[in-house]
Structure 1
Amino acid sequence: MIPLMYPFSRVFSVPSTALVTLKSVNIFLGTVSTMATFIIEFLEQDDEVQHS
């Protein structure tokens, strides 16, 4: 995230807002992708889903 902060700091009026925004986006995307992986693995174990 730190290398991306410099280009995004030009978009925001306060440069530290870029870091906070990028960290928030990173946490959100990490949580969503982890939950999606968990749900997909859970559905793979269900026999009804595999045969439909």
Structure 2
Amino acid sequence: MLRAEFEATHGTAPNHTELANEANRRGLFTTRDRPWTASTVGRTLRRLEDAP
């Protein structure tokens, strides 16, 4: 959802850093209640792609 909103607004697909910055700007936290980083975004997206 965040990725699609970013792409619709900016016209390009966001990279991991841009997604992390936007999630942090919106006050979203990781499951461990920490701010998002490019690394945590990448790991989360990989897990979601591998999920059944």
Query: Higher relative contact order by CA 8 Å / sep ≥ 6: 1 or 2?
Result: 2
| TM-score band, normalised by shorter chain | 0.3 to 0.5
- Which one has a larger percent helix, Structure 1 or Structure 2? 1
TM-score normalised to the size of structure 1? 0.35
Point out the structure with max Rg over C-alpha. Answer: 1
